[in-house]
Every structure is written in C-alpha cells, then in structure tokens.
A and B are shown apart, each in its own frame.
Chain A
C-alpha cells in the first residue's frame, strides 16, 4: 500500500536568469511500513522535498498525496490539522518547547488536537526510547541525544501515517547518532511506522530499507519503484 506519492513535483525560486530549481520533477512512492532515507549533498533539494512531504512548504507545481489525499488541495488551516494528525516531524535541532517538560512535549500534538493521549501507547513509546526517568525534566536539562529521543517520541505519539526526519543526527556525535537511529528504526518497526529520513551521511543512510539519492532537484537513484 502506497502511503506517500509525489507526481512531477517542482519547486523554483527566483525568476528568469536567476531561477533556481530546488525540485525539478520529482516523482516517487513510499510504501507503508518502509524506512527510507533520502541522501544528497547540501543544496540538492532534499530538505525542500521533505518539507513538501509534510506540507510545510507548497510546491510550484505537482502533487503530494499522503494517505490517499492530495495535501496541497487543502487550505492552510486544514493542512496544519492534517499535519498534526498524519505527520510526525523529527528535526535536526530537536525543536522541543523549552517551557514544557518531556512528557508534556511528547503529548503536545495530541493536546493541540484536543484529544486525550492513549496512555498505554505513549508509555510503550517512552519505554522503548528509554525516557522513563526523564519525564519531568525540562528540555534544557537533557543531552542532545536525549532531546532527539524526546522528539522521536513526540513524532510517534499521535500515531501518524508517516514520520519525517530532517537530519535527525545532524547535531549528535557518531556514537549517539547510532543509538538514536537504532531507536528510530526499532520503534518504527515496532509501531509499524513509515519513516522518511533525510541525511547527507551515506553511512547513516544505509540503515534504511531503501536509499534514495537526490542531486540538483532530481532523483538519481533508489526511486526505482516509480
């Protein structure tokens, strides 16, 4: 079952001679339960692509279909609500709310949606990520690896259809990177999550089920099932 599909996705910045093609006709599919990584150098367009997947940025042309819906047919507010229900984000710089403790950060998207968290499920995530002893800590009192684990927990908490990770290990040392990625992989398997991760690090990328290479806004390898 295809959970995410893009059709001839284009994004351009600027005009005329100064035109920059951040995305130049990207078409790809992601199947449910897949863990894929998108690899490219900086400026290759991988971040733009990820932002498109999550509805953070609108394309110049083309479609993004998530869970059977063309997300750019939605209005901004609808998109936000779609995002908080269907998409979980993990950012390079964790993006935790400094005033909320670990537990509150994890359940924040659920709270924003006006729902009560599924405690059993949340507890499982917390247990898997080894955060039980940190629940009352504020983000500033955690190490980078711990913060990223909280961000992963937050991304999974609302049971999204897809988790998007933007250089999740970019700020971590290699040992911690391995730990965090291992956890990301384990949890996504355990909770049957689809994960799209972007990275510039080939070694990390190899942990994924499939590696998609992107250069100058075009897929140059790994997008073979289109």
Chain B
C-alpha cells in the first residue's frame, strides 16, 4: 500500500522534529531508562530466585538431572538409551556404603560411573584431578577426606572399608581427584574404577535383586524441563517396558520451584512499574505534542495523514528506546545483582546465584518497549487529530469554556488556574508522584509489621532449644533415634544459671491406623482441596498396614505450652498413664483425628499396643515440635514419666533451656563449643540469634523496598521536574507579557513556586487518602495471612519526603524561571510576533 518514498519522507520529518525537541528527548530517555532499570532489576531478582530455589532443591535431591531410572539391567539400559526423546543419559553402579568408623556421620556411597556427565549431574565431578581410570584409583569429596583425616592433596592413600554381601572388605587406593563437598547434598560419593567395582561385585549381582547394589542407576536429561514425568513414562513404555518393571523418579526441583512462586504479587509489581513508566512517558509525549501542535497542524495542512503522524511519533519513540533501554538494562542488572543477596537473606534461600542471562535483557526490553508504545498511543492520537485551524489558535486551554469568576486577584488563584489549564497533565504528574510515596509508605509499614514478639514466640519461646541437628536442618536425615546424648546432660547440668530445662521426648512407632480415619481425608479434601497426587498418597498411607504415629513425652514445662483447643489439661489423670492428648488434623481444629473420649491404641518401642483415652485436643508450639511429617500423621502427647515407662525409655529429642539474664552469654558459649567440638550432630537455637535474624529480616525488607520505591519515586520526581520546566518554558511569552504589564520577578517566582507546591500538595493528598486506603487493604490481607506480623501502618515516610519534594519543587521552578529570564522582556516579547 505505501511506497518507499513516503516512508523516507516520514523518517526524515521524524528525524528533524526529533532533533528539535532536546528537552523532551532527555526526559523521555530518563523515563525509559528508569522503567527498564525497574523491569530488569525486578526480573533479575525473580529469575535468580527461581533458579536458586531450583538449585537448592537439586542439592537436596543430590542431582541436576531431570529424571532417574533405578535398578536397571544392562539390557534394559541399552534398550532405553536409544529412545529419541532422551537428550543425554548416563549411569552409575553402587558397590556399597563406606563403613569406616569415621564415616558414620556422613552417608558415603561407593560407585563407578560410565560417563563424567553422570558425576557432573550428581554435583560430584572432581574439580582437582580427575575420575579414576585404574583399579587402584579413587576420587571423592573434601567432606569424606576431612572425616578420614586425609590431607587435600592428590596422590594420598585412602583406605576404604565396605561390605559386599555381608563380607567386610578393606582396600587402599590412590587419590586422583577431589571436589568441595556440599553438606546439603544428602550423601557423598566415592568414585572407583569400573573394572574394579565389577570384579568386586561379580559374585553378588543377582543375589540382591531388590537392592540398589550392583544395578544400573541411570540419570536422564530431556531437551527441556517441561512435563518431565510424562516424558519419562513415555520413554519407558515406548522402549517396550511396563511401569511395574522399571522404577523411575522425577527430580522435584523442576516441579517444586515453579509452584512455590506466587504469580499475583509478581504481576502486581510488573503492573506498578509499567504504570509508573506509563505515567511519565505518556506525560512527556503529551507535553511535546502540545508544544509541537503547530508543527503537526502544518503537516496536516500540507496533507499528512493521521496514520503518518502516528508513525512519525512512533519512530521517535523507538529511537528514544534504542538509547534508553540498553542503558537501563545495564544499570538494572547492577541494581538487581546488588539486591539479590538482600532479598535472598530475607526468604532464607541460601544459594546466591545471580542470574544474568540474555533472556532477562530481552524480556525487560520487551516490557519497556511495550510500556513506551502503550504510553504514546494517546498523545499520537491527539497529534493525529489536530485540526490545522485549531492548531493556529492552540494553547493549553483549547477546551475551556468561559468562566464567571471575578473574585479578587491573588497569585495563588493564578497558580491554581495555571495548573488546571491541562487537567490531564496535572493528573498524570500527581499520580506518578503519589505512586512512589504510596509504595514507600507500604514498604515501611510492611517492614514494621513484623512483630518481634509474635515472630519470636513462633520461633522460640525459651532462651535456648537444643536437639539433634535434624530437628533444625530440614535437609538432614532424620529418625526418632537421633536423640541427645546422655553425656551432654552431664555437661549441661554443670553449667550455672539454669532456671528451667524442659525435655521433649519423641517416638515414631508404626501403628495400625483406625480405618475410620478415612473420614479425615474426606473432610480435609472438602475443606482444603488436595491435589490428586496428595489425595492418593494419603489414601495409600491409610491402606497400608504400617502407619507412622508421632508420640511426644513432655515435661511439665513443655506440657503447659500446648495450646489446648478442647478439653482440659488434667495432670492427675494424665499421670495415671490411661489418658492421652491428641493433636487435631489442622491448626484451625476443624478436622479432628480423634474426639474427646475416643480410645486409641498406641504401640510402645517393642510394638506392644496399649489403649489410651483422649482427654484433650491440643496443638504443640512449632519450635518444640518435630518438623517432619507424613501425609497423615496423628500426634499424641503424654507426660514424660508416662512416655518413659510405657512407650520408650530414651534420652530426649529436644530440650528447652531457660537461664538467668547474666548467664545467657555463657550458656550460648557452652552450647556453641559443645556443638562444634564434642557432638557435631548437636545443634541449637537461641532467642538472641533469632532476634538478630529478625532484625536482619526487617532491615532487608526496608533496604529492598526502599531501593525499589526510590526508583519509582525517581520516575515521579523526574516527571514532575519535566512538567514544571516545560510548562514554564511554554509560557515564556505569557510570563514576559505579564512582566511587561507590571508583574515583578518576585511575583512571577512566587506564582511559579506555588504551582509546583500545589502539585506536590495534591500528590500528598492522594497518597494520604486513596493511597493509604490501598496500602491499608494490601497490608491487611498480607498481615492476616502471616503468623509473624501484626498490623502496622504509617504515613511518616511520605511526610519525611515532603520537605525534599518541596525543595526540589522550589529549586526547579526557580531555575527554569532564571533560565527564561536570561532574555530581556523585549526579546521575549518579540519572539512571539
């Protein structure tokens, strides 16, 4: 339809008018840069978060591969590896578990692999040296070497003890490779040479058909991580096997990470950024179109079509993007990289993995361009529909009607009139200023909503909690046998200043589940709506004969901390050993496993069952509970005496310690040295360290929130500055004329300053009214969902910013007035004629 010549002309027009609007370009580029910075830093933080959570989970899983196939025969492996959907596949074979005395604390798996990719996928590729190639060679991680007391040097001798088929073997190897061990990965790997492992296993393969030893564990990667389960099932079936023959596992890093991120706050934030960018860019173009109205009118008279005018403006906007977006992307990446560690410490994701990826640049550029193109829609429409005749009479107040106002003259009134000349422009600036202030208020309120007391009581309600490491570290392997040592108590009671010690005993026996508990599943599903998988897991658990129960034995101090939901804590009755307190299914106590008066059968350590009657329903505080659950885990609470005599006689799982004020530091020092030197498996939490963590969290929320709100506020302030400057420059003439009929420079200055101040006043008004309302609702919904926040709302930050804004306003209007006053009145007046 349109020819090349036409395009050239439009481009040329676009270029010439582009060059003449320096100021417009400057502010538009600033707006584009700021918007891009916001998008880029936000996406960098988000992207890093997802990938770090993913990697964190992979480390817990112990591998980065998409899926695993277990206990394959060589024939099965060779068949499956041919499948066309498999991107790569490699395997390892387990010889056994390291049985050296020093390795008791760390599960150490002895394997060989057919491919270094397999070692990489298990985070177990030597970074110093290489994988074994001869039968006497070995490679392992620094954790194993340290436990064995071997220096971190190649060529060292490593003696390994293990069993094959129950027969103990001891062999010595030469260290040819090692890498830094990661304590979060559940097990350490020891690599040996293939032919050595095969000869060791030669007589035993086949004797342990259900065991992992001696069979192929294959790790599989697909071209992407979408719908891995479907892919692996397809591979198994299309290779000619059934799901009964071959066991598969999905790396849940790829499932979990995508589900744990809630999309709505993200969308909300992207919208905020786009809105603040829109407000400024749109305003910049509105102003420039109003200024160039004669130019566009002229173009119209000589026959330029509306769509051509739109294209002229679009060309200009794109040129501005070409300059602004790359700068914004660079700054945004830096800002993001600075903020990532802060954000991560808040949400306790410990893998800092700043994601700098071309895709981030592309996505944020697309968002920015989209914002710019949306922003220029209205200004271009206005420019396109300017009528040539109106253009000649143009002025800011084309649309206004006559007014009957004849109140006495005042500078204030003139200032208000001037602001109201272009209501849309004023509104855009005001909202854009308010946005920054509203977000600032919300951030501060949010940070202050953290309630130290609620936070602490949810985390810890005594000075110290001590237990096996698995109670604090969800990554470490856990059983109910991981209790505190008797030796520890001997040392503990030598310490001074102890006011109270409460013991929490715990057992997890398998009992027969009352089939009537299927009612719980039905009720819970109605209320909470489980996923199909979860529901199936719960049903399977109910149908199985063995079912884990949680039984606590609590000292008086701990018993009194239970929150009783129904019934009474009758110590006399409980001590008879005939009664028990039961836990509800959910914390809202709507769904109960057992009601008061129900009889339950609890097994002791030998599996002998005894009947108890439920006398109360209660919940245990999180900090003294066992933090491991199954799909359905009914829990019961007994007094310690009853637990020890009737369930199991063992040391406690956890204890809480309260000490007097003066002894807090001493106790902390004792616990620290004990857990670092004597019992490495022991771990503790102190109220002091948790409150430090709390303060850190609060500070981080403030830093991140304030950084982002400053950026958004900066957009608003830039928008404001641009508006003030352009409005003063556009009225150069009018102001000169006012001065020619007797307005003094002082009066002019006051009037212009009042204009700025009124806009800031409006912005504050919006912030305090509508803005407060919005943040109030937002905060309320956040706080009500959180167990560690109490509602807190403040507008102080916006009030603190006010003097700064006022100062900026006064300075900007003063400076622009100075700059237009450089020309004499006559020169300015002449410029019009």
Contacts and interface: CB of A to CB of B under 8 A. Distances in A.
Interface in A74-91: 76-77, 80-81, 83-85, 88-89, 91
A95 B737 contact: yes
Interface of B (DSSP majority class)? loop
Nearest to A137: B402
A164 to B, nearest CB: 10
A110 B744 CA distance: 13
B408 interface: yes
Given A99-B418, A138-B402, A140-B393, A77 B744 contact: yes
Interface residues of B, number: 37
B826 A77 contact: no
B738 A97 contact: yes
A161 B826 CA distance: 21
Contacts of B417: 99-100
Interface in B372-416: 393, 395-398, 400-406, 408-410, 414
In this complex, which of B393, B741, B824 has the most chain A Cβ atoms within 10 angstroms of its Cβ? B741
B397 A83 contact: no
A109 interface: yes
A81 B742 contact: yes
Contacts of A140: 393, 395, 397-398, 400
Contacts of B737: 91, 95, 97
Nearest to A160: B742
Given A95-B737, A98-B734, A113-B742, A141 B402 contact: yes
A53 interface: no
B741 A108 contact: yes
Contacts of A178: none
Interface string B709-747: 000000000000000000000000010011111111111
In this complex, which of A56, A93, A136 has the most chain B Cβ atoms within 10 angstroms of its Cβ? A56
B389 to A, nearest CB: 13
A99 B747 CA distance: 17
Interface string A81-123: 1011100110111010111110110011111110010000000
B690 interface: no
A137 to B, nearest CB: 5
B351 interface: no
A56 B829 contact: yes
A210 interface: no
A32 interface: no
Contacts of A81: 742, 744
Nearest to B739: A80
Interface in B634-686: none
Given A89-B741, A138-B400, A140-B395, A104 B829 contact: no
A116 B829 contact: no
Contacts of B408: 111, 116
B397 A98 contact: yes
Interface string B290-301: 000000000000
Contacts of B740: 54, 56, 83, 89, 91, 95
Nearest to A116: B408
B832 interface: yes
B741 A101 contact: no
B402 A136 contact: yes
Nearest to B417: A99
Contacts of A111: 408-410
A104 B393 CA distance: 21
A170 B395 CA distance: 21
A46 interface: no
B421 interface: yes
Interface in B32-87: none
B409 A107 contact: yes
B492 interface: no
Nearest to A81: B744
Given A99-B417, A136-B402, A85 B829 contact: no
Nearest to A88: B741
A51 interface: yes
Nearest to A103: B406
Nearest to B747: A112
A116 B407 CA distance: 11
Nearest to B742: A84
Contacts of A85: 742
B833 interface: yes
Contacts of B826: 51, 56-57
B821 to A, nearest CB: 10
Nearest to A95: B737
A92 B832 CA distance: 10
A98 B825 CA distance: 19
A64 to B, nearest CB: 14
Contacts of A109: 741-742
Given A81-B742, A84-B742, A98 B396 contact: yes
A135 B402 CA distance: 9
Contacts of A77: 744-746
A213 interface: no
A84 B740 CA distance: 8
Nearest to A113: B742
A84 B661 CA distance: 79
A54 B825 CA distance: 11
Nearest to B393: A140
A100 B738 CA distance: 12
A154 interface: yes
Nearest to A104: B406
A98 B734 CA distance: 9
A204 B620 CA distance: 103
Contacts of A97: 734, 737-738
Nearest to A99: B417
A112 to B, nearest CB: 5
B829 A80 contact: no
7 contacts: A57-B825, A84-B743, A95-B737, A104-B409, A108-B738, A111-B409, A112-B738
List the 5 shortest-distance A-B pairs measured between CB atoms, nearest first.
Answer: A84-B742, A111-B409, A95-B737, A99-B417, A57-B826
Interface of A: 51, 54, 56-57, 76-77, 80-81, 83-85, 88-89, 91-93, 95, 97-101, 103-104, 107-113, 116, 135-138, 140-141, 154, 158
Interface of B: 393, 395-398, 400-406, 408-410, 414, 417-418, 421, 734, 737-747, 824-826, 829, 832-833
Given A83-B740, A107-B409, A137-B402, 9 more contacts: A56-B740, A57-B825, A91-B829, A99-B421, A101-B406, A108-B741, A112-B738, A138-B400, A140-B395
